[in-house]
Amino acid sequence: MKVFLDTNVMLDFLGECEPFFETAESIVNQSDKGKITIFVSALSFATCNYFLSKKFGEAISRGKIIKFKILSEIVALDEMIIDKSILSTFSDFEDELQYFSALKANCQYVVTRNEKDFKNSEIPVLSPSGFIEFYLNSKS
């Protein structure tokens, strides 16, 4: 199963942000166990490093980023994604970049805490808790 994580979910996990950390960790653990494949935009790494280095310092931030890179597949931000985002009807450019990255990677789901920002999505968009509930139910 190919799952695209929005930046906010990646940051919840790496930043250990409560009350969202536990749910994000559950998703990442599924990737660590080889049960799903997590995809993230290259842009998310830059954004997360910015916030993590403010919270933890540069060395700890880099260590977290390095470990997360092992658990995820990176979708390159390219001209096609930017062009599609510019022409899109989404209300937020960063969300458009995320969405078209998910499409490029042929992801089956987008997981975000901002579901409403992806209302024009052609693929299912779930909250982290919604994804965990769906995933666990699909395995029973």
pLDDT in tens, 102-129: 999 999 999 999 998 888 899 999 999 9
> Is residue 24 a contact partner of residue 111, using CB atoms and an 8 Å limit?
no
Residue-wise pLDDT for 66-83, tens only, equals 999 999 999 999 999 999
pLDDT in tens, 78-97: 999 999 999 998 889 999 99
Class of residue 52 by CB neighbours under 10 A (exposed 0-12, middle 13-18, buried 19+): buried
Domains of the chain: 2-132 (3.40.50.1010)
- Tell if the pTM clears 0.75, that is, is over it: yes
Residue 20 banded pLDDT, cuts 50, 70, 90: very high
Tokens of 13: 């996990």
